[in-house]
């Protein structure tokens, strides 16, 4: 065993066991009257964050409201965890636009999401320019966008509506998050690979295909969340030992790589046999994979897998996470449902992203020391966590009704136009030069789903349920009945 590994092991043991012991022993005696994390000697604020990790997004909203939108946190001595947690629009504009090059995602982010380490999601600066231009050109192809719209309508009509009709006619309660995970899995994979995995198909006894790949994608996001919460030395030691969450992640990576390889193979069989791609009815293949396979820069298989998986995560996780929250909000606001039914308003589908942004936290590092507009100093190597979830819930940004779902807040006074809200205040699709290049696609897909479902069904939340976000890098819904 190398000395650096022994050191990692020692730190991980210290970090996982000792803080919990001290936290629970001392928290009852704590004189800290606020919700702000207690700053313990040696372990600093880690115990508070670990103890609130099951509900971290809400916890951060409380901490940021109490501390005036910015909070400096420290991990255990020697862990090099120095964080500025913020939801301050002025800081966000500084990080994403004004001084953008000073705040890369950083090497640690690429390590945390190692399954897509070389994809656009984890790289910055000059190396990101070509991949971004490539994605932008792929996603702006009118043929692709048109076939994605057709594919979405088809999946809603022949997949989602029959499923909901069956569930409604049998009075079956169901897990909205699971249904939309399946739906979006098919809808993301079809334009990507030209093959429909058929996860939404069902038989009359309600058996549905296994979801192991979708579950593996969830694992990447859940373990990514844990990796951000604990010192890097700790999860790296666990990875070497292949224990706990790291063992689960290792299995998930295997499932995902196998899936990408199978889909590529499936796609080539279709091409070889002169078959038609599931995305379009003509012989010209419009799927995203074809445009990468034919590009000499993507001949390395591992690299291609990373790119494809990052596309799956971009397409499935974001919308699959947002839709259950949309219906959750609508089920509790019948007045808004009536307005949508009478006007088929597009606003409802996009705006829940203020309260429930599918990517609730953005992470940046500091390349050179800087002073933020809020006056906070940041040093080289510091991490900045931008809490989008908190930003949508700050009273001084959104008014007294900040936690209410009220799509009318986005309308101008006469109700005829959408009010302008800058992206550094409504960050759901990111801001500045790295704004989501696919953002028109989810808006189109979500409008199709919301309008069609509301036109055909009444949606109700099962009484007595506790509905919360899962502790993960994406804001999936967790239901406890």
Binding positions for ligand HEM, rule: CB under 6 A: 120-121, 132, 135, 139, 314-315, 318-319, 322, 353, 358-359, 362, 428-430, 434, 436-438, 441-442
Q: How far is the CB of 345 from ligand HEM (least distance, A)?
A: 18
Of 443 and 479, CB closest to ligand HEM: 443
Alpha-carbon distance of 185 to 198, in angstroms, equals 9
Alpha-carbon distance of 186 to 193, in angstroms, equals 10
Alpha-carbon distance of 452 to 456, in angstroms, equals 6
Q: How far is the CB of 6 from ligand HEM (least distance, A)?
A: 34
Of 214 and 359, CB closest to ligand HEM: 359
154: which 2 tokens?
A: 């088809």
Of 48 and 322, CB closest to ligand HEM: 322
436 is an annotated ligand-binding site residue:
yes
DSSP string, 178-200: HHHHHHHHHHHHHHHHS----TT
Alpha-carbon distance of 277 to 154, in angstroms, equals 14
Residue with tokens 């991990």: 75
CA neighbor of 4 nearest in space, from 180, 236, 270:
236
Residue with tokens 């309308």: 411
Of 286 and 362, CB closest to ligand HEM: 362
Contact 422, 391 (CB under 8 A): no
Please list, in sequence order, all residues whose beta carbon lies within 8 angstroms of the beta carbon of residue 254, skipping any fewer than 6 positions away: none
For 29, phi and psi rounded to 5 degrees? -95, -5
CA neighbor of 228 nearest in space, from 124, 359, 352:
359
Please list, in sequence order, all residues whose beta carbon lies within 8 angstroms of the beta carbon of residue 248, skipping any fewer than 6 positions away: 219, 223
3: left (phi over 0), alpha (psi -120 to 50) or beta: alpha
How far is Cα of residue 53 from the mean position of the Cα atoms in its chain? 17
Alpha-carbon distance of 407 to 343, in angstroms, equals 13
- The binding site for heme consists of 436
- The binding site consists of 436
């Amino acid at each position: 065993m190398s000395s650096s590994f022994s050191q990692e092991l020692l730190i991980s043991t210290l970090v996982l066991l000792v803080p919990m012991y001290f936290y629970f022993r001392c928290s009852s005696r704590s004189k800290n009257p606020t919700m702000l994390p207690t700053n313990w000697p040696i372990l600093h604020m880690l115990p508070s964050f670990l103890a609130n990790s099951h509900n971290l997004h809400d916890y951060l909203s409380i901490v940021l409201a109490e501390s005036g939108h910015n909070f400096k946190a420290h991990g255990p001595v020697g862990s090099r965890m120095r964080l500025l947690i913020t939801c301050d629009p002025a800081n966000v504009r500084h990080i994403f636009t004004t001084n953008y090059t000073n705040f890369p995602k950083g090497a640690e982010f690429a390590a945390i999401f190692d399954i897509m380490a070389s994809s656009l999601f984890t790289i910055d600066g000059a190396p990101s320019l070509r991949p971004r231009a490539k994605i932008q050109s792929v996603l702006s192809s009118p043929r692709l966008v048109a076939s994605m719209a057709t594919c979405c309508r088809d999946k809603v009509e022949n997949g989602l509506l029959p499923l909901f009709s069956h569930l409604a006619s049998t009075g079956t309660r169901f897990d909205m998050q699971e249904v939309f995970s399946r739906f979006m899995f098919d809808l993301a994979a079809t334009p990507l690979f030209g093959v429909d995995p058929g996860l939404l198909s069902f038989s009359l006894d309600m058996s549905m295909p296994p979801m192991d790949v979708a579950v593996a994608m969830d694992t990447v996001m859940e373990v990514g969340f844990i990796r951000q919460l604990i010192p890097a030395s700790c999860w790296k030691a666990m990875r070497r030992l292949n224990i706990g969450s790291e063992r689960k992640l290792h299995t998930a990576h295997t499932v995902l790589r196998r899936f990408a390889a199978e889909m590529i193979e499936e796609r080539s069989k279709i091409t070889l046999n002169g078959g038609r791609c599931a995305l379009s009815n003509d012989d010209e293949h419009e799927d995203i994979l074809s445009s990468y396979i034919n590009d000499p820069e993507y001949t390395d298989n591992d690299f291609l897998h990373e790119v494809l998986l990052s596309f799956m995560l971009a397409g499935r996780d974001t919308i699959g996470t947002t839709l259950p929250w949309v219906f959750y909000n609508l089920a509790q606001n019948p007045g808004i449902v009536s307005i949508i039914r009478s006007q088929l308003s597009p606003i409802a589908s996009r705006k829940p992203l203020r309260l429930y942004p599918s990517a609730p936290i953005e992470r940046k590092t500091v390349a050179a020391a800087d002073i933020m507009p809020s006056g906070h100093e940041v040093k080289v190597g510091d991490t900045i966590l931008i809490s989008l979830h908190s930003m949508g819930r700050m009273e001084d940004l959104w008014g007294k009704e900040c936690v209410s779902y009220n799509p009318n807040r986005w309308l101008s006074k006469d109700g005829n136009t959408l009010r302008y809200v800058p992206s550094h205040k409504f960050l759901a699709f990111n801001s500045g030069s790295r704004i989501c290049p696919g953002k028109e696609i989810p808006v189109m897909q979500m409008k199709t789903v919301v309008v069609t479902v509301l036109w055909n069904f009444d949606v109700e939340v099962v009484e007595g349920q506790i509905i919360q976000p899962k502790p993960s890098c994406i804001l999936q819904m967790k239901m406890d009945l």
